Structure formats: C-alpha cells, structure tokens
C-alpha cells in the first residue's frame, strides 16, 4: 500500500498536533523519557505490537529510561508519510502524551 508523502506544509501542520515531535534530517523525531527502564521497555513492547500490525518499524535507541525515536517511510523515498504520523500518534498515546 502506497502512503502519502507529506509536503513541507502538510508536515508542519501534522507536527503542530504531535506533542514533542520535530522534523530532523528528513525524518520526524522525538525523545521519550520514562520513570525507569521497565517502563521504557514496556512502552517499546507495546509500540512493537502496533508497528508490526502497520508493517512500519521505527528506528529507535534505548538507554535506561530514555528512548530516542526517528520515523520515516523507507519505501517512499525515504520520506515522511502519513504512516509515520500515524505511528507517532500511537507512540504519544501509549506514552500518555
């Protein structure tokens, strides 16, 4: 399924509604902070279930209670698409943002 590549104005509009996310180097990115490693890892496990259903897997890096996430759709250029925004919304919801 092809996903809509976001224009710069569409991306800016989407980011206005995605707390904490920013456009960096052709990706959208956010750093999540949790109370401890167990909460961070539990959140990652929850996200993984959604990512698998979407067939869209994040680039992320975890150290203790911090998870740095970058999203882009590799088979769309790579570029930021509606799929990245959808997964970012899910991540925010699961993190309580």
Task: Pull the structure tokens for residue 47.
Answer: 């996200």
51-65 per-position pLDDT tens digit: 999 999 999 999 999
pLDDT value of position 95: 97
65-89 per-position pLDDT tens digit: 999 999 999 877 788 999 999 999 9
The arithmetic mean of pLDDT across residues 34-62, rounded, is: 97
The arithmetic mean of pLDDT across residues 7-34, rounded, is: 95
Domains and CATH numbers, the chain: 8-95 (3.30.1360.20)
State the DSSP code for 70.
E
pLDDT value of position 26: 92
Using a cut of 0.75, tell me whether the model's pTM lies above it.
yes
Angle between helices 82-95 and 37-54 (to 10 degrees): 150
């Amino acid at each position: 399924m092809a996903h809509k590549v976001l224009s710069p104005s569409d991306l800016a509009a989407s980011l206005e509604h995605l707390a904490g996310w920013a456009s960096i180097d052709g990706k959208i990115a956010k750093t999540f902070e949790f109370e401890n490693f167990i909460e961070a890892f539990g959140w990652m496990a929850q996200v993984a279930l959604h990512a698998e259903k979407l067939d869209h897997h994040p680039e992320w890096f975890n150290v203790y209670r911090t998870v740095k996430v970058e999203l882009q759709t590799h088979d769309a250029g790579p570029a930021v698409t509606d799929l990245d925004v959808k997964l970012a919304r899910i991540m925010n919801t699961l993190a309580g943002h």
